[in-house]
Amino acid sequence: AKSEPDTPICQFNAEMDRRSREKTQMVHDLRQALQHDEFELVYQLQNALDTLAPVGFEVLLRWNHPNRGRVSPAEFIPIAEETGLIRDIGRWVLREACREAAQWSRPYSVAVNVAPQQLVQPSFIEDVMDILMETGIDPARLELEITEASIIDDQAHTLKVMHKLKAIGIRIAMDDFGTGYSSLATLQAFPFDKIKIDRSFVQDVHKDAQRAAIVRSTLLLGAALDIPVLAEGVEVEDELSFLRGESCASVQGYYFGQPMSREDMRRIACDDDDA
């Protein structure tokens, strides 16, 4: 048979088809990933800005796919959210993170990302309490990172959940600050213990007057509201120097290290004899 030359429309359809098959496959694989033990946690340092001493780690999820290798969370978290799988995956992350942090010899904090759907899950508080009991971690060391997206759906309910978490002694950080559409209103209405300035504002902050203004205002706001601010995505010395001149509490980014394996993290979080 004579083959037709591809028209742009055909290519487009073929591409759509390929993508949709890829996604169906990904959903299928993601459903099995927990049972097959394909998830792994990596840990990124958070340092105090004044002393540069470590103060904690943010836990980041990795998926080691049997054929595809490491899949980025930017790729699979949205699909996990769409399919609701994020609830089971998120609970697994929280349990593993607390189990790990409970064994550290240094009292570092452990920051865990919580997806919107987890927060509104009726069993969320109960799950958190179970995990605290089971692992024995001091709730004061646990920090949950939530984004504005968690809040817009059901504000009254979210507020209740946040107050319950705080009553347990858990701290709550506002993640990706500045990227949502009502960060200021959100900050006023909800009891956050920390603000994380998004990496997009921190990158090149020393070279870009607009970013500098945004970062400065956020730091002033944090100071005025008495909420410590962490700057994420610090990659170079100049960015760090800029922040040093301002009232920034802590920093995180490749300048201090990429997210690291459990073994590397333990070299920092555990004394030699218990690592």
Q: Which residues bind ligand C2E (CB under 6 A)?
A: 44, 60-61, 72-74, 77, 90, 93, 113, 115, 175-176, 199, 233-235, 253-254, 259
Integer Cα distance of 225 and 38 in angstroms:
42
- Residue whose CB is less far from ligand C2E, 195 or 224: 195
Which distant-in-sequence residues (6+ apart) come within 8 Å of 120 by Cβ?
A: 150, 153, 154, 157, 158, 161
Query: From the CB of 199, what's the least distance to Ca ion, in Å?
Result: 5
CA distances from 64 to 39, 69, 75 (A): 6, 5, 13
Cα atoms in the 13 Å half-sphere on the side-chain side of 60: 19
Q: Could you tell which of ligand C2E, Ca ion, none binds residue 74, using a CB distance below 5 to 8 A set by kind?
A: ligand C2E
- Residue whose CB is less far from ligand C2E, 236 or 275: 236
Asked if 64 contacts 261 with a C-beta cutoff of 8 angstroms, the reply is no
Q: Could you tell which of ligand C2E, Ca ion, none binds residue 240, using a CB distance below 5 to 8 A set by kind?
A: none
- Residue whose CB is less far from ligand C2E, 39 or 164: 39
Q: Could you tell which of ligand C2E, Ca ion, none binds residue 60, using a CB distance below 5 to 8 A set by kind?
A: ligand C2E
Integer Cα distance of 247 and 126 in angstroms:
37
- Residue whose CB is less far from Ca ion, 22 or 81: 81
3-state DSSP assignment of residue 29: helix
Supply angle C-alpha 30, 173, 262, rounded to 5. 50
Integer Cα distance of 94 and 135 in angstroms:
11
Give exposure, 234-246, as e/b (b: 16+ Cβ within 10 Å). beeeebbebbeeb
Query: From the CB of 144, what's the least distance to ligand C2E, in Å?
Result: 10
Query: From the CB of 234, what's the least distance to ligand C2E, in Å?
Result: 6
Q: Could you tell which of Ca ion, ligand C2E, none binds residue 54, using a CB distance below 5 to 8 A set by kind?
A: none
* Chain residue whose CB lies nearest ligand C2E: 253
- Contact residues toward Ca ion (CB under 5 A) are 37, 113, 145, 175-176, 198-199
Query: From the CB of 219, what's the least distance to ligand C2E, in Å?
Result: 18
- Residue whose CB is less far from ligand C2E, 59 or 269: 59
Look at the block and give the residue holding tokens 């006023």.
Answer: 188
The dihedral sign for the CA sequence 152, 154, 159, 162 = negative
Asked if 214 contacts 225 with a C-beta cutoff of 8 angstroms, the reply is no
CB atoms within 10 A of CB 260: 17
Query: From the CB of 8, what's the least distance to ligand C2E, in Å?
Result: 33
Query: From the CB of 41, what's the least distance to Ca ion, in Å?
Result: 9
- Residue whose CB is less far from ligand C2E, 73 or 139: 73
- Residue whose CB is less far from ligand C2E, 94 or 187: 94
Query: From the CB of 151, what's the least distance to ligand C2E, in Å?
Result: 14
